[in-house]
């Protein structure tokens, strides 16, 4: 799991859902929050992390790239 | 038409791909009064190769150098183009690079008008040395991570109509002219048709026909390139009947050879920036012996490996303070996350050696390999233009190539829109495109797009790659055909996201086949195409480019000499700065 969403900090602004080039995020309509739906396609460029205004996302350096 | 599509739009100029080239083209054409529609497969604020940022613009002509000197450099295969250009003569339309150098400052001026100011704190444009050529034509600037976003925001302001998460599935044609495109929303499956007088393809290079440098097949997308680049535009252009060129060539590392630093140790820096003559970057072997500095032929690195003295490294402790500073500025401006990840591992760019690992092909040589264009970005099909890294036949690429040629395409479409007829459209075409793309959704059992993509990459990696021979290429093509025949009809898609992935795989398979067929045709050994069965390296320039075109359901290969520089119509005098 390279990306972690901290739902305590996430305010559902939707920026991560909008910027992810690979469309790894989905949207939970009921809760109004992002969810990871195609995480295996993440290419670790980190746009979602740098653009998150809440600092709710963390990207872990993947083992494969270590 | 309204019956099969959720929405039918009309435009003067449809831009497919909202990266750097697409954004600039759209803005330029909208300024000229064209009705512009942009389709972007991802989200436009962070899409394309520039999504993570741009470190520099490569190819700005210093004000004190006259264009005549550029012309001489280009024709002579030296100066502004370094040694490689000599062997690539006949493969590049020299007029494209010449125009790139001639129009660079005008393009910068447009950026400034759009609120993107790249000047330094003193109000100037300090040019630096280009590692590839040694010429002082590289602009480093701050704020590179904002460049693409600023352009995208400008596009989103309107009156340009932007559709995000919308993938073009195929071009629509009528009487040999491109009349629009059919596309799909990759989240909800909405189906769109855009009728347009002019269509621009700006979807980037085909990154995904090879495994990433990391060499982890199971790693799917874990690489540090823009991985939306499946070569969609190149494949669509081919299917519509446009000519492609140089599709056998793969990209080289920054050192003028297919060698690059390990992405694990990249620390947010590209090798190309380290290996230039100007940095005099010391290369050491595993014993710590210095084997060279700056640009280094790949043979030398391989020699060390074979002698048991590998791996080799770039040793940053030998850099001057200026190089360190530039690296640090680049890290702060772009690929922020890579620098942060390197910090997670405790790596320091001033002391950690950069391992040189990769002698593998990992992408097409952009923008040498791609859709053949003329000096106005027009493809061989009427109404169809191409710009950015999916262009073929030039080496004026990257971010600045996308800006300069995106601008050219926008201007060409603006000029042509008045003379191009209102697009006529055959409803059946769009219907076929949609049905074909949706086939995987109707199947229950089969193979997922990612599985098939990885298999195709396996084949291209193993049988084509950096070192080629007739036997291997033939075997690879046999395997590719057998995988395609058996598994393409078995593709399944669980949702519209996978419909996109399935379409990408179709494009990847097509381009992999074209890539390997072209490689089989090309028997010379030189940078970008090493034939181990034809090892004679000739200093003589390659004579002609391999041009590929659709022939019925097949692929037709031909040879053509790319135009040499003709300065009969000199570019207008550059404005003094």
What's the ipTM?
A: 0.95
Does A18 lie at the interface with B, CB-CB under 8 angstroms? Answer: yes
CB contact under 8 A, B51 and A47: yes
CB proximity list for B305: less than 8 A, separation 6 or greater: B311, B312
Cβ proximity of B35 and B202 under 8 Å: no
Q: How far is B207 from chain A (nearest CA, A)?
A: 13
Helix B321-333 to helix B144-156 angle (10° resolution) is 30
Q: How far is B308 from chain A (nearest CA, A)?
A: 24
And the tokens for B375?
Answer: 């000096």
Which pLDDT value is given to residue B576? 42
The SS3 call for residue B163 is strand
Strands B56-58 and B7-16, sheet pairing = unpaired
Which pLDDT value is given to residue B328? 75
Q: What is the mean pLDDT of residues B163-168?
A: 98
Q: How far is A11 from chain B (nearest CA, A)?
A: 20
SS3 content of chain A, % helix, strand, coil (to 5): 25, 20, 55
Is the pLDDT reported for residue B254 higher than 50? no
And the tokens for A21?
Answer: 């080039």
**B453 or A40, which is more confident?**
B453
Which pLDDT value is given to residue B574? 46
Does A45 lie at the interface with B, CB-CB under 8 angstroms? Answer: yes
Q: Give the residue among B407, B414, B364, B413 at the shortest CA–CA distance from B22.
A: B407
Q: How far apart are CA B299 and CA B306, in angstroms?
A: 10
CB contact under 8 A, A40 and B450: yes
- In terms of CA atoms, which chain B residue is nearest residue A2? B222
CB contact under 8 A, B263 and A61: no
The SS3 call for residue B462 is helix
Does A13 lie at the interface with B, CB-CB under 8 angstroms? Answer: no
Q: Give the residue among B380, B384, B375, B383 at the shortest CA–CA distance from B405.
A: B375
Is the pLDDT reported for residue B343 higher than 80? no
CB contact under 8 A, A18 and B43: yes
- Write the pLDDT tens digit of every residue in A14-39: 999 999 999 999 999 999 999 999 98
Q: Give the residue among B172, B51, B253, B68 at the shortest CA–CA distance from B426.
A: B172
Strand partners, B473: none
Q: Between the CA atoms of B299, B305, B306 and B307, what dihedral angle is there, to the nearest 10 degrees?
A: 110
Q: How far apart are CA B514 and CA B247, in angstroms?
A: 7
Confidence of residue B216 (pLDDT cuts 50, 70, 90): low
CB proximity list for B233: less than 8 A, separation 6 or greater: B16, B17, B168, B201, B202, B203, B204, B371, B386, B390
Contacts of B497 in chain A (CB under 8 A): 23, 37-38
Q: How far is A38 from chain B (nearest CA, A)?
A: 9
Is the pLDDT reported for residue B330 higher than 80? no
Does A37 lie at the interface with B, CB-CB under 8 angstroms? Answer: yes
- Write the pLDDT tens digit of every residue in B101-113: 899 999 999 999 9
What does each C-alpha distance from B294 to B130, B257, B304, B477 come to in angstroms? Answer: 12, 12, 16, 37
Q: Pick from A28, A47, A59, A63 the residue to mutate for testing the B interface (most B CBs within 10 Å).
A: A47
Q: Pick from B153, B221, B355 the residue to mutate for testing the A interface (most A CBs within 10 Å).
A: B221
What does each C-alpha distance from B188 to B21, B185, B335, B450, B497 come to in angstroms? Answer: 27, 6, 31, 20, 9
For B38-95, give the secondary structure using H, E and C: EECCCCHHHCCHHHHCCCEEECCCCCCCCHHHHHHHHHCCCHHHCCHHHHCECCECHH
Q: Pick from B18, B41, B46 the residue to mutate for testing the A interface (most A CBs within 10 Å).
A: B46
Q: Pick from A14, A51, A64, A66 the residue to mutate for testing the B interface (most B CBs within 10 Å).
A: A64
Q: How far is B503 from chain A (nearest CA, A)?
A: 14
CB contact under 8 A, B51 and A65: no
Q: Average pLDDT over chain B, rounded to whole?
A: 84
Does A19 lie at the interface with B, CB-CB under 8 angstroms? Answer: yes
Go through B487-509 and write b for each residue having 16 or more CB atoms within 10 A of its CB, e for each that does not.
Answer: bbeebbbebbbbbbbbbbbbbbb
And the tokens for B191?
Answer: 């189906």
The SS3 call for residue B326 is helix
Strands B138-140 and B7-16, sheet pairing = unpaired
Of B239-243, B295-299, B449-453, minimum mean pLDDT range: B295-299
Q: How far apart are CA A50 and CA B67, in angstroms?
A: 41
- Write the pLDDT tens digit of every residue in B170-191: 999 999 999 999 999 999 999 9
CB contact under 8 A, B45 and A19: yes
Q: What percent of chain B has pLDDT over 90?
A: 49
- B355: enclosing H helix or E strand: strand B354-356
Confidence of residue B56 (pLDDT cuts 50, 70, 90): confident
Q: How far apart are the first and last CA of chain A?
A: 15
CB proximity list for B419: less than 8 A, separation 6 or greater: none
Cβ proximity of B344 and B155 under 8 Å: no
Cβ proximity of B48 and B204 under 8 Å: yes
Q: How far apart are CA B169 and CA B158, in angstroms?
A: 24
Contacts of B221 in chain A (CB under 8 A): 22, 40-43
Q: How far is B562 from chain A (nearest CA, A)?
A: 35
DSSP B380: S
Q: How far apart are CA B260 and CA B123, in angstroms?
A: 35
Of B12-26, B143-157, B221-235, minimum mean pLDDT range: B221-235
- In terms of CA atoms, which chain B residue is nearest residue A24? B497
Is the pLDDT reported for residue B115 higher than 70? yes
Of B7-11, B163-167, B223-227, minimum mean pLDDT range: B223-227
- In terms of CA atoms, which chain B residue is nearest residue A27? B187
Contacts of B207 in chain A (CB under 8 A): none
Give the burial class of B83: count Cβ atoms within 10 A of its Cβ; 0-12 exposed, 13-18 middle, 19 or more buried: middle
Q: Which of B43, B336, B497 sits opposite A46 (nearest CB)?
A: B336
- In terms of CA atoms, which chain B residue is nearest residue A51? B46
- Write the pLDDT tens digit of every residue in B58-75: 888 888 888 888 888 777
Which pLDDT value is given to residue B459? 95
Which pLDDT value is given to residue B451? 92
CB contact under 8 A, A20 and B336: no
Which pLDDT value is given to residue B240? 97
- Write the pLDDT tens digit of every residue in B185-210: 999 999 999 999 999 999 999 988 98
Q: Pick from A37, A45, A51, A55 the residue to mutate for testing the B interface (most B CBs within 10 Å).
A: A45
Which ranges of B307-448 would DSSP assign to H, the alpha helix?
Answer: 321-333, 336-344, 398-417, 427-442
Contacts of A37 in chain B (CB under 8 A): 497
What does each C-alpha distance from B224 to A2, A44, B58, B231 come to in angstroms? Answer: 14, 7, 20, 17
Q: What is the mean pLDDT of residues B340-361?
A: 75
Which pLDDT value is given to residue B215? 53
Which pLDDT value is given to residue B297? 66
């Amino acid at each position: 799991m390279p990306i972690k969403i901290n739902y305590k900090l996430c305010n559902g602004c939707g920026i991560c859902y909008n910027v992810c080039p690979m469309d790894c995020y989905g949207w939970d309509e009921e809760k109004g929050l992002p969810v990871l739906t195609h995480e295996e396609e993440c290419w670790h460029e980190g746009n979602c992390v740098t653009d998150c205004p809440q600092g709710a996302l963390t990207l872990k350096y993947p083992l494969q790239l270590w | 038409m309204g019956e099969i599509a959720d929405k039918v739009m009309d435009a003067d100029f449809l831009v497919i791909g909202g990266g750097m080239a697409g954004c600039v083209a759209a803005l330029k054409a909208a300024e000229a009064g064209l009705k512009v529609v942009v389709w972007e497969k991802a989200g436009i604020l962070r899409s394309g190769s520039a999504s993570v940022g741009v470190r520099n613009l490569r190819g700005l002509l210093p004000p004190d150098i006259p264009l005549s000197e550029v012309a001489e450099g280009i024709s002579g295969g030296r100066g502004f183009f370094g040694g490689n250009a000599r062997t690539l003569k006949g493969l590049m339309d020299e007029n494209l690079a010449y125009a790139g150098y001639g129009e660079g400052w005008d393009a910068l001026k447009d950026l400034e008008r759009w609120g993107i100011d790249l000047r330094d704190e003193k109000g100037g444009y300090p040019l630096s040395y280009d590692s590839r050529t040694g010429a002082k034509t590289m602009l480093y600037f701050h704020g590179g991570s904002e460049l693409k976003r600023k352009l995208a925001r400008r596009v989103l302001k309107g009156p340009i109509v932007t559709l995000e998460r919308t993938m073009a599935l195929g071009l629509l044609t009528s009487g040999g002219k491109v009349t629009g495109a059919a596309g799909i929303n990759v989240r909800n499956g909405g189906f769109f048709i855009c009728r347009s007088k002019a269509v621009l393809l700006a979807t980037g290079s085909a990154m995904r026909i090879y495994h990433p440098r990391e060499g982890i097949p199971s790693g799917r997308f874990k690489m540090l390139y823009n991985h939306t680049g499946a070569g969609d535009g190149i494949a669509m252009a081919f299917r519509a009947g446009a000519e492609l060129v140089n599709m056998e060539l793969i990209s080289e590392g920054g050192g003028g050879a297919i060698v690059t630093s390990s992405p694990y140790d990249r620390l947010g820096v590209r090798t190309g920036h380290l290996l230039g003559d100007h940095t005099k970057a010391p290369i050491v072997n595993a014993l710590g012996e210095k084997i060279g500095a700056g640009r280094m032929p790949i043979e030398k690195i391989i020699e060390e490996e074979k002698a048991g003295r590998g791996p080799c490294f770039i040793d940053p402790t030998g850099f001057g303070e200026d190089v360190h500073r530039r690296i640090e500025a680049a890290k702060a401006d772009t690929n922020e996350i890579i620098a942060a990840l390197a910090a997670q591992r405790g790596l320091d760019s001033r002391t950690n050696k950069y391992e040189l690992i990769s002698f593998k092909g990992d992408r097409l040589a952009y923008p040498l390999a791609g859709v053949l264009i003329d000096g106005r970005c027009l493809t061989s099909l009427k109404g169809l233009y191409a710009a950015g890294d999916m262009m073929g036949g030039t080496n004026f690429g990257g971010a600045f190539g996308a800006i300069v040629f995106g601008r050219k395409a926008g201007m060409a479409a603006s000029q042509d829109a008045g003379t191009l007829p209102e697009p006529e459209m055959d409803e059946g075409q769009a219907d076929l495109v949609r049905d074909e793309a949706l086939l995987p959704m109707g199947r229950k059992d089969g193979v997922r797009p990612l599985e098939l993509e990885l298999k195709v990459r396996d084949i291209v990696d193993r049988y084509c790659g950096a070192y080629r021979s007739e036997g291997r290429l033939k075997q690879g093509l046999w395997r590719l055909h057998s995988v395609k025949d058996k598994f393409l009809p078995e593709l399944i898609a669980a949702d519209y996201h996978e419909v996109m992935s399935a379409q990408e795989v179709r494009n990847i398979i097509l381009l992999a086949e074209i890539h390997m067929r072209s490689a089989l045709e090309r028997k010379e050994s030189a940078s970008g195409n090493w034939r181990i069965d034809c090892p004679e390296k000739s200093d003589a320039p390659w004579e002609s480019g391999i041009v590929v075109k659709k022939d019925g359901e097949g692929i037709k290969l031909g040879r053509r000499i790319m135009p040499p520089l003709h300065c009969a119509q000199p570019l207008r005098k550059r404005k003094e700065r």
